[in-house]
Amino acid sequence: MFAIFKKELTSFFTSATGMLALGLFLTLNGLVLWVFKGPVNIFVYGFADLSVFFMLSPYIFLFLIPALSMKSFSEEKKLGTLELLLMKPMSPWKLVLGKFFGIWILGIIALVPTLVYVWCISVLGTETGNYDGGLVIGAYLGMILLLTAYTGIGIFASALSDNQIVAFLTAILIALVAYLGFQALAGLFLDGGFSLFLENLGMQAHYERMGRGIIDTRDVVYFLSLAAFFLFLTVTRLKRTV
């Protein structure tokens, strides 16, 4: 598993596509939050907090993670090396987890430079360091868990096709439905209890709770379970390939 994990990281740092995806993520975040005029610009927003960043991140991750994960299995299929990997004395689970953690770590690496935003709002406040640390910690934990679920979805989408663009678009579609779909569907029902049930099936409600600094075990379990579910689907798909 470690060899697969190492291969994923190495291929990212030697690939123009991977570096471009990471560069675009950081550039787009920086421009939208600090340069472009608009409601999510922190200077226009008028408050020294990162709520606009945490609100924007799920949508940027929606493109970043599929871009990083689209070649995980698609490229192996296209090159005809997937069968060779599956024939090795290594279980499909180890293969899938190796690729999963490789992409997941890349997502974490993408998040690390954004910590400078915390320093920025600390300086911009009326008093240096006057910001809600609990909210920031909860929101970053929420982003990491969201990243975990998106990575599971991206790995699964990559196992469905040998075309990277198809895998990329499939991952975006599944992630978009999982994040926004249930919230939109809940709005169609008048029954408050059933509407709340539908909302809790989607990622948005769980992420937004953590974005408010509320760390609930149920939200953590939800994201981890969702990632595990898509990894299970990926392993099932690979076993049918053999």
The predicted structure's pLDDT at residue 49: 66
Reported confidence tier of residue 124, pLDDT bands at 50, 70, 90: low
Condensed to tens digits (0 to 9), the pLDDT of residues 178-232 reads 999 988 888 777 667 788 888 889 999 999 988 887 888 999 999 999 999 999 9
Number of domains making up the chain: 1
Closest CA to 241 of 73, 83, 97: 83
DSSP string, 130-146: -S-HHHHHHHHHHHHHH
pTM to 2 decimals?
0.90
Say whether pLDDT at 145 is over 80.
yes
Q: Residue 157 pLDDT > 90, yes or no? A: yes
Alpha carbons 13 and 18: distance in angstroms, whole number: 7
- Domain range for 163: 2-241
